[in-house]
């Protein structure tokens, strides 16, 4: 069952999603939150920083697991999701660094499988993800689970589609061709899922995810099988959805 929330602009999406994340943090003992990167969640991270500065939210008992990281990439690389998270959230709130987790894009290739297994174990050990926050790619990807990804996947090394690489990097020279990403099964094991989408560019993917068949061709469509999912959309992203 997917619940839909329609918002009139990006600011409202950001406010609403930050409120839902804050509520989950306040109501859960030792909350575990799954986090995305990309343009879409930036406003929500901004609000969460604001809540913290105003003394409304305490992150000291919060554990986070990021969805994905490019591979190969160094932590210091400005394109890395590690740098993104540092800038947008970690440096803005009182998260304990040993409670934040991002797949390591700098480990040797021979150790990637082991690293992925350990990432899954860490999620299990933390008690599973209480709230997984997602964006969505224009091709329906979630995390870096591109079209064609099997539904039973756990954290794994994924090849980026040409389309995703072109969208994410201004030039394709010296850019990572892969990513380590939570799999679709990892995402589906979260207790609750929140997906944010904004702008008409996402309307096709949102339509397929919500109304299309559950298929590998649109990885986000698997969310139809989850018992507790909310999509927060603006008018552009919801363009093809009839709310009547």
Active-site annotation, residues: 68, 139, 141, 146
Which of 55, 78 has the CB closer to ligand GLP? 78
**Contacts (Cβ under 8 Å, ≥6 apart) of 233:** 4, 5, 6, 7, 13, 197, 198, 206, 241
Sign of CA dihedral 161, 162, 165, 166: negative
Which of 53, 201 has the CB closer to ligand GLP? 201
* Closest CB 238 distance from ligand GLP, rounded Å: 15
Query: If residue 53 lies in a helix (H) or strand (E), which one and from where to where?
Result: helix 42-53
Which of 93, 142 has the CB closer to ligand GLP? 142
| Binding stretches for ligand GLP (CB under 6 A) | 36-40, 67-68, 135-137, 143-144, 164, 168
* Closest CB 209 distance from ligand GLP, rounded Å: 12
| Rounded CA separation 96/89 (Å) | 12
| Residue of closest CB approach to ligand GLP | 135
Which of 68, 192 has the CB closer to ligand GLP? 68
Q: 224: which strand partners?
A: none
* Closest CB 67 distance from ligand GLP, rounded Å: 5
Query: If residue 49 lies in a helix (H) or strand (E), which one and from where to where?
Result: helix 42-53
* Closest CB 48 distance from ligand GLP, rounded Å: 16
CB 181 within 8 A of CB 37: no
How far lies 147's CA from each of 36, 138, 216, 222, 224, in Å?
A: 18, 11, 6, 11, 16
């Amino acid at each position: 069952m997917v619940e839909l929330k329609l918002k009139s602009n990006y600011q409202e999406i950001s406010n609403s999603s930050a409120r839902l994340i804050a509520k989950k943090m306040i109501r859960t003992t030792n909350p575990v939150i799954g986090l995305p990167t990309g343009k879409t969640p930036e406003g929500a991270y901004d609000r969460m920083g604001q809540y913290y500065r105003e003394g409304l939210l305490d992150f000291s008992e919060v554990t986070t697991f990021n969805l994905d990281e490019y591979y190969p990439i160094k932590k210091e690389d400005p394109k890395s999701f590690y740098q993104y998270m540092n800038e947008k959230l970690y440096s803005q709130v009182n998260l304990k660094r040993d409670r934040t987790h991002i797949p390591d894009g700098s480990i040797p290739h021979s150790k990637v499988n082991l690293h992925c297994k350990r990432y899954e174990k860490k999620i299990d050990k933390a008690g599973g993800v209480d709230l997984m926050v997602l964006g969505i790619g224009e091709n329906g990807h979630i995390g870096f689970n591109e079209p064609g990804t099997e539904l039973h996947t756990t954290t794994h090394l994924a090849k980026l589609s040409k389309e995703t690489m072109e969208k994410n990097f201004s030039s394709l020279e010296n850019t990572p061709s892969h990513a380590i990403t939570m799999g679709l099964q990892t995402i589906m094991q979260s207790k609750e899922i929140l997906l944010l989408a904004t702008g008409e560019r996402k309307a096709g993917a949102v339509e397929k995810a919500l109304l299309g068949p559950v298929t590998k061709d649109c990885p986000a469509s698997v969310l139809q099988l989850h018992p507790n999912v909310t999509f927060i959309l603006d008018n552009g992203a919801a363009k093809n959805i009839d709310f009547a």
